[in-house]
Amino acid sequence: MLDFSAAEIEAVRLSLRVAFWAMAGSLPFGLATAIVLARGRFYGKSLLDGVVHLPLVMPPVVTGYLLLLLFGRNGPLGRFFDETFGIVFAFRWTGAALACAVMGFPLLVRAIRLSLEAVDRRLEEAAGTLGARRIFVFVLVTLPLIAPGIVAGMVLSFARSLGEFGATITFVSNIPGETRTIASAIYTLTQTPGGDVGALRLTLVSIALSFVALLAADLLARRMGRRLSGD
């Protein structure tokens, strides 16, 4: 039963790579967006909030198709990235990571934003009276206080990426060894006669990975919570 084929192992490794880069790549943008939404006061804030949350409510196929239009080989942004940084998204694993990042973005931003809103601003004021300018206040006080929220957001983004299917397959298709993640592989196997066992194996792997991610997040959050409560 647990006799993985090379293609299945390839799918698992690819999924982990895609999920990792989706999470890591979107983190700086997620943090910046959360700060703007939690602290900023500007015209059009609710519009930004809406745009960030769109991938959560739109059909994933729509998100994938929009990505294809924008980041495809002839899309405006796709051409820009290719010419400026030499990064191609269309039909590559990088494109799968981008799709996953976009789909996980609302979850990432939401988790960080909630923890930012829970930060006691009076602690930041106290740091200011002690001589710390804003950037130091952020790094030395705010960031450590929202660390549990950041970790939670990263885990959500990672887990969402492992499960992402619709946007990925629409944007970068289902190419073995390049864009065939666990989800796409299971889909393919269920469409193939005699693929049931393989599909089941990958399903178990998928469940195990999600479980490990949640346990790790819980452990980290608890450790940080203990630190903050005084032990």
Partner 1 sequence: MLEVDIEHRLADFALDIHFHAGRGLTALFGRSGAGKTSVVNAIAGLLRPRRGRIVMDGSVLLDTERGVWVPTHLRRVGYVFQEGRLFPHLTVRQNLLFGRWFAPARERRVIKLDDVVDLLGIAALLDRRPGRLSGGEKQRVAIGRALLGSPRLLLMDEPLASLDARRKDEILPYLERLRDDARVPTVYVSHSVAEVTRLATTIVLMSAGRVHAVGPVHEVMGRAELYPLTGRFEAGAILGVRITAHDPRWSLTQLTGDFGRLTVPRLDAPVGTALRVRIRARDVILAVTRPTGISALNVLAAEVERLVPIEEGTLEVQLRLGRERLLARVTRLSGEALGLATGREVFALIKTVAIDRRSLSRQGETADLDDEMETFDG
Task: Point out which residues bind partner 1 (CB under 8 A).
Answer: 120, 122-123, 125-134, 136, 140-141, 144-145, 227-231
Nearer to partner 1, 96 or 146 (CB): 146
Nearer to partner 1, 175 or 228 (CB): 228
- Helices and strands (H and E) in the chain: how many: 11, 0
Q: Which residue, among 117, 136, 145, 154, has the nearest Cα to 40 in the 3D structure?
A: 117
As measured in angstroms, the least distance from the Cβ of 188 to partner 1 is 47
As measured in angstroms, the least distance from the Cβ of 108 to partner 1 is 22
As measured in angstroms, the least distance from the Cβ of 215 to partner 1 is 24
As measured in angstroms, the least distance from the Cβ of 226 to partner 1 is 9
As measured in angstroms, the least distance from the Cβ of 207 to partner 1 is 35
How long a stretch of residues is the chain?
Answer: 231
Local structure of 221: helix, strand or coil: helix
The 10 Å Cβ neighbour count of residue 206 is 19
For residue 100, give the H/E element and its range: helix 93-118
Local structure of 80: helix, strand or coil: helix
As measured in angstroms, the least distance from the Cβ of 129 to partner 1 is 4
* Cβ neighbours for 221, distance < 8 A, ≥ 6 positions apart: 148, 151, 152
Nearer to partner 1, 73 or 134 (CB): 134
Nearer to partner 1, 13 or 121 (CB): 121
Q: Which residue, among 156, 79, 81, 75, has the nearest Cα to 113 in the 3D structure?
A: 156
Nearer to partner 1, 29 or 136 (CB): 136
Q: CA 226 → CA 207, 222, 223, distances in Å?
A: 29, 6, 5
Distance in angstroms (rounded) separating the CA atoms of residues 195 and 203: 12
Nearer to partner 1, 74 or 129 (CB): 129
